[in-house]
């Protein structure tokens, strides 16, 4: 519903007609085209920002997600399995070499290994 | 929700054009009278760009025109604050008006008188008058744009019309 002031509706209408008859400026066509182009630009920027943001979020998620993933009891993670395997391999190596590595420094182990190799060499010689 | 708003929300290029064609001239004149001719084109563009950026938040409950002219109003107020001075006269200069009008001397005189009378109005009365005559908004929408009760919008229009009529008495026969 369109409201009108009862006391000045007629005056207002007459004045409005006068107003519209003398003020009829228009935006230039070139300005209209510029505005539409500016609006298209404003519209384009948003999805681009969104795409960049989404990509960044996906990347961060991809990198960080494993550390935030809930652990399932009893099932070791891939990294844990790798660590354990390398421990087992090392242990097997030293056991095969005839040494127990627990509580022994790496240098000690290397020295022991060299000795062992020398011994083996001598043993072989003796054999 | 009408097609125009739906098109704008969907990012349809034809909707942008329709928006500028339908509202461009009215908005341009409204902004020119409030903020001055020099800034009118840039401010009109800024209004449209803001409309587009915020179209997602526009709900179908209110009138689109009222929403659009509210943005224009806010931009004009910001513009005044930045300039810290009121615009000279109330809008377009002589040359741009004459260029678009191409009217005779008498018409130029009437236009000048009306422009002068409009510039003498208090800001809130001027805004209500322009929202009615330039933007063709209903008084209900004008009240929404101005953030005032309907009766206040009507009273402002009433005082604006009376002041303008007093100023334009000499041109009554027009």
Distance from CA of B50 to the nearest CA of A (A): 9
Q: What is the pLDDT of residue A116?
A: 55
pLDDT digits (tens, 9 = 90+) for A24-51: 888 899 999 999 998 888 766 555 555 5
Which of B:124-163 have CB within 8 Å of A?
A: 132-134, 138-140, 150, 154-155, 157-158, 161-162
Q: What is the pLDDT of residue B91?
A: 46
Q: Which residues fall within 8 angstroms of residue B125, CB to CB, at 6 or more apart?
A: B156, B157, B159, B160, B163
Q: What is the pLDDT of residue B41?
A: 92
Integer Cα distance of B100 and B13 in angstroms: 28
Q: What is the pLDDT of residue A110?
A: 62
Which of B:54-83 have CB within 8 Å of A?
A: none
ipTM: 0.75
**A20/B53 Cβ within 8 A:** no
pLDDT digits (tens, 9 = 90+) for A47-103: 555 556 666 666 666 565 555 555 555 555 666 666 666 666 666 666 666 655 555
pLDDT digits (tens, 9 = 90+) for B41-90: 999 999 999 999 888 888 777 789 999 999 999 999 888 887 765 544 44
| Residue ranges, chain B, pLDDT below 50 | 87-102, 174
Average pLDDT value over all residues in chain B: 82
Average pLDDT value over all residues in chain A: 66
Contact with chain A for residue B24, Cβ under 8 A: yes
Q: Sign (positive/negative) of CA torsion A60, A66, A71, A72?
A: positive
């Amino acid at each position: 519903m369109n409201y009108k002031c009862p006391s000045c509706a007629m005056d207002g209408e007459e004045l409005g007609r006068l107003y519209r008859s003398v003020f009829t400026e228009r935006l230039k066509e070139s300005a209209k085209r510029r505005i539409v182009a500016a609006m298209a630009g404003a519209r384009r920027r948003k999805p681009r920002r969104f795409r960049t943001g989404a990509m960044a979020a996906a990347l961060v998620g991809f990198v960080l997600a494993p550390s935030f993933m809930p652990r399932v009891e009893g099932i070791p993670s891939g990294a844990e399995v790798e660590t354990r395997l390398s421990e087992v391999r090392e242990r097997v190596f030293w056991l095969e070499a005839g040494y127990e590595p627990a509580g022994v420094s790496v240098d000690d182990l290397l020295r022991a290994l060299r000795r062992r190799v020398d011994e083996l060499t001598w043993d072989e010689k003796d054999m | 929700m009408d097609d125009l708003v739906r098109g704008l929300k969907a990012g349809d290029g034809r909707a942008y054009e329709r928006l500028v064609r339908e509202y461009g001239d009215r908005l341009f004149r409204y902004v020119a009278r409030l903020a001055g001719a020099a800034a009118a084109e840039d401010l009109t563009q800024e209004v449209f760009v803001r409309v587009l950026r915020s179209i997602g938040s526009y709900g179908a409950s209110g009138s689109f025109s009222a929403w659009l002219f509210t943005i224009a109003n806010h931009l004009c107020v910001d513009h005044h604050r930045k300039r810290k001075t009121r615009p000279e006269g109330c809008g377009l200069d002589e040359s741009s008006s004459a260029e678009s009008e191409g009217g005779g001397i008498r018409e130029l005189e009437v236009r000048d008188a009306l422009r002068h009378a409009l510039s003498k109005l208090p800001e809130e009365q001027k805004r209500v008058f322009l929202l009615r005559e330039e933007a063709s908004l209903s008084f209900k929408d004008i009240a929404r744009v101005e953030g005032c009760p309907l009766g206040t919008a009507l009273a402002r229009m009433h005082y604006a019309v009376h002041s303008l009529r007093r100023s334009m008495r000499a041109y009554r026969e027009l």
